[in-house]
């Protein structure tokens, strides 16, 4: 069990820039420095706004780590033009991750193509495009991180809904090239979660542990149903213990999509994140 005092207290905490959505990248960096949070997980839109070279320098000069880059993916286009566009965008994301000095590029794999009903074929296209991308990612030292999303997003965002599915998709590739994310919001409900986290540990596939809560009732926009740890239904002690016992020692990234939190002053958000992390996540990390 990790100590809850001293300089190690927040040494693995990372803030995903989506948590402070209204802040620029410079504001997120300053907020993390002022809050004593050592790591950041930027989204590509914030990097693009700042400019890639400036973003990389900004983060490096602040002394922060980059836990991950969000995101690539959306690999399910059924037509050749859409597939080529997806591969081009993902190759660009790989180069961005390398420039930001992170190994981990999140992939949200995509849902059904327009008017499509064939889930099996769409999942096969994900596997095919992943195989296309892995050599380029490997050449650039980047691990593609498959993120299973809650089943309510299967149709439009991610046809991978369970950690087991993500591990099966990763299996043909070297562990340094393809990993998986354990995001509590998306996987807390899975009756196979303990076994699949154990499997991910054995296979050395856990590339990221993301935390936030699953709020009820579901928001009108389901994307905005995330909350601070402790505000919803997730058992962080149990899941955190499983992830720890599987051997994961990397950054723990807080990623929250919630309009009320976005409308709150970012410094207050970071202070609340630290309090909830110290109480509900750190003791089991």
- Structure-block tokens of residue 103: 């190994």
d(CA 121, CA 112): 9
- So what's the pLDDT on residue 8? 57
* pLDDT of res. 63: 98
Provide the residue ranges of all domains of the chain, joining segments of one domain with +: 13-284
Q: Any residues with CB less than 8 A from the CB of 194 and at least 6 apart, and which?
A: 242
Is the distance from CB of 143 to CB of 176 less than 8 angstroms? yes
Sign of the four-CA dihedral 250, 252, 253, 257:
positive
Neighbours of 126 (CB within 10 A): 22
Q: Is the dihedral of CA 153, 266, 96, 200 positive or negative?
A: negative
pTM > 0.85: yes or no: yes
CATH: 3.40.640.10, 1.20.120.160, 3.20.20.150, 3.90.1150.10. Which one for 13-284?
Answer: 3.20.20.150
Give the Å distances, CA to CA, from 268 to 32, 34, 37: 12, 12, 14
Per-residue pLDDT of the chain (285 residues; tens, 9 = 90+): 344 444 458 999 999 999 999 999 999 999 999 999 999 999 999 999 999 999 999 999 999 999 999 999 999 999 999 999 999 999 999 999 999 999 999 999 999 999 999 999 999 999 999 999 999 999 999 999 999 999 999 999 999 999 999 999 999 999 999 999 999 999 999 999 999 999 999 999 999 999 999 999 999 999 999 999 999 999 999 999 999 999 999 999 999 999 999 999 999 999 999 999 999 999 999
Report d(CA 234, CA 229) in Å as an integer. 8
DSSP per-residue letters across 78-94: -SHHHHHHHHHHHHHHH
């Amino acid at each position: 069990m990790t100590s809850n005092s001293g300089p190690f207290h927040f040494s693995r905490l990372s803030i995903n820039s989506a948590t402070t959505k209204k802040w620029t990248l410079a504001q997120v960096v300053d907020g993390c420095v002022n809050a004593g949070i050592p790591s950041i997980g930027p989204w590509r839109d914030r990097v693009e706004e700042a400019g890639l070279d400036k973003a990389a320098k900004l983060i490096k000069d602040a002394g922060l780590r980059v836990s991950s880059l969000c995101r690539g993916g959306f690999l399910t286009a059924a037509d050749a033009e859409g597939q080529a566009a997806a591969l081009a965008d993902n190759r660009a994301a790989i180069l961005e991750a390398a420039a930001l000095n992170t190994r981990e590029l999140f992939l949200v794999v995509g849902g059904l193509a327009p008017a499509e009903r064939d889930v099996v074929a769409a999942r096969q296209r994900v596997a095919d495009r992943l195989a296309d991308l892995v050599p380029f990612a490997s050449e650039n030292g980047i691990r593609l991180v498959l993120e299973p999303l809650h089943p309510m997003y299967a149709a439009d965002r991610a046809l991978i809904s369970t950690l087991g599915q993500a591990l099966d998709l990763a299996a043909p590739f070297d562990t340094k090239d393809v990993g998986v994310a354990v995001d509590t919001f998306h996987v807390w409900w899975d009756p196979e979660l303990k076994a699949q986290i154990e499997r991910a540990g054995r296979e050395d596939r856990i590339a990221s542990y993301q935390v936030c809560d699953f709020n009820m009732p579901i928001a009108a926009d389901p994307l905005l149903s995330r909350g601070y740890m402790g505000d919803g239904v997730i058992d962080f002690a149990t899941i955190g213990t499983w992830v720890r016992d599987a051997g994961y020692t990397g950054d723990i990234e807080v990623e929250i999509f919630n309009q009320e939190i976005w409308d709150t002053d970012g410094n207050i958000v970071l202070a609340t994140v630290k309090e909830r992390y110290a109480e509900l996540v750190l003791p089991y990390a």
